[in-house]
Structures are given as C-alpha cells and as structure tokens.
C-alpha cells in the first residue's frame, strides 16, 4: 500500500518509516510526486492535518497521512496553537532556510515569554494531530492526537531541539525538551504518542500488519 506523507520533512519521513516498518506500507513524500503543499486555514490541528491529508490523497490518487502540531498554553487561551511556527511576525525575509528558522524560533520564544510575564499558571503542552485517509473522499479518516504536558520556564534552557523546546520543562524527565537527546525526545514526544495511536488504528481499521 502506498501512503503519501503530506510533508517534505526528511525527519518526519524517517520517523514514520521506522514506525510503520512492520506494516506493508510504501511511505513517500508528496514532494517526490510533485505535489504542492496544501493551505492550512483552520484553527485546529485536526482540521489542518485533515486538509493536508485530503489534498495529498487527491493529487496522488492514493492513501495519505499528515500531521499538524504546535504548543498550547493554558493561561493564554491555548495560544500559540496552530500559529506556533509563525507566532511572532518577522520583518526580515530571505536568507538561508536554517538561519531564518532559528531567527523565527527566537522571535517566537521572546514573544511567548513577554505574554507570559508575571503569569503564575505556566502549564502547557505540545500537541500533535496525525490524520490518515485511504482516499480524498474517505468518510472515516483515522485521527490520532498526542499531548506532551509540561510547564514553561521563565528563560530558555538547553541547546538541542528547535522551536519552543528550550522553554518547555518536562517534570518526569527533569529536563527541558532542549536538554533531551534525540532518542529520549522521540520516545516521549507528542508525535511519538500520536504515531503509536495511528499504528494501532491502521492495524485495527485498515487491517494492516
């Protein structure tokens, strides 16, 4: 069974390929098929993931899977939510992709800390919505939702990871996400939780494996 990943992220591809290794699935990125990225106009992770999965499935004429993820902070109404990657507005455009990403991450963290200044309730969670469809018209999409709970620090800690990882403290691990090595992070993360749910759903509903 061919399954199109509605992303061109090599890391996501490798993670899902490893997870689905036991299933009869040929996982390919939408970019390798010449499929453009879908719009993400919705206000929830699930709706955006579903839109991306249906878009990829329609263009590829096959099954597809997509994820949408971000950070939700209780004290500010669940923000930054689906706008996590572009929470802060950058006036500078252009430059190397990794440099721009680092600048965006830093700006996002600064803005979040400003909005959380003096706020006692610092509960937050990383959220990952993973959606798979057998076709663009599939009436029964598989939906998995992973949540990784933590608290926001008042200053960044750690040099690993990306995004909000330096601010997100995970009490059971006594580390920020940026202080975890990749193996530990991938074993405990919101995406890992959602992926394990999706694996079970594929076996139960799609009868794979």
Instruction: Find the domain containing 43 and state its range.
Output: 2-200
Confirm if 30 and 56 have CB atoms less than 8 A apart. yes
Quote the number of domains for the chain: 1
Tokens of 147: 């949540």
Please report whether residue 205 resides in a domain: no
In a domain, 207, yes or no: no
Residue 192 belongs to some domain of the structure: yes
Is residue 208, in this structure, part of any structural domain at all? no
Quote the pTM value: 0.91
Is 206 a domain residue?
no
The string over 146-158, giving b where at least 16 C-beta atoms fall within 10 Å of a residue's C-beta and e elsewhere, is: bebebbbbeebbb
Catalytic (active-site) positions: 68
Does residue 97 surpass a pLDDT of 80? Answer: no
Q: Provide the CATH number for the domain around residue 79.
A: 3.90.950.10
148 lies in some domain: yes
The pLDDT of residue 46 is 98
> Tens digits of per-residue pLDDT, 5-60?
998 877 788 888 888 888 999 999 999 999 999 989 999 999 999 999 999 999 99
Q: How confident is the model at residue 208 (pLDDT cuts 50, 70, 90)?
A: very high
Domain-located, residue 131: yes
Evaluate whether residue 209 is within a structural domain. Answer: no
- Edge-first strand listing for the sheet containing 2-5: 26-29, 2-5, 63-73, 123-133, 142-152, 168-170, 175-176
- Going by pLDDT thresholds of 50, 70 and 90, the confidence category of residue 93 is low
């Amino acid at each position: 069974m061919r399954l199109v990943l509605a992303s061109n992220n090599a890391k996501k591809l490798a993670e899902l390929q490893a997870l689905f290794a036991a299933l009869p699935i040929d996982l390919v990125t939408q970019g390798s098929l010449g499929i453009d990225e879908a719009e993400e106009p919705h206000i929830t992770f699930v709706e955006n993931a579903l839109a991306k999965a249906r878009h990829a499935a329609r263009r590829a004429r096959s099954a597809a899977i997509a994820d949408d993820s971000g950070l939700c902070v209780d004290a500010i109404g669940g923000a930054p939510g689906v706008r996590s990657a572009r929470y802060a507005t950058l006036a500078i455009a252009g430059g190397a992709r990794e440099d721009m990403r680092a600048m965006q991450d830093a700006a996002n963290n600064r803005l979040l800390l400003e909005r959380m200044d003096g706020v006692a309730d610092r509960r937050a969670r990383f959220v990952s919505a993973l959606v798979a469809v057998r076709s663009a018209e599939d009436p029964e999409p598989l939906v998995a939702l992973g949540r990784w709970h933590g608290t926001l620090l008042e200053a960044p800690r750690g040099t690993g990871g990306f995004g909000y990882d330096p601010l997100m403290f995970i009490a059971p691990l006594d580390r920020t996400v940026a202080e975890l090595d990749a193996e530990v992070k991938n074993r405990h993360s919101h995406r890992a939780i959602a992926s394990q749910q999706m694996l079970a759903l594929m076996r139960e509903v799609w009868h794979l494996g």
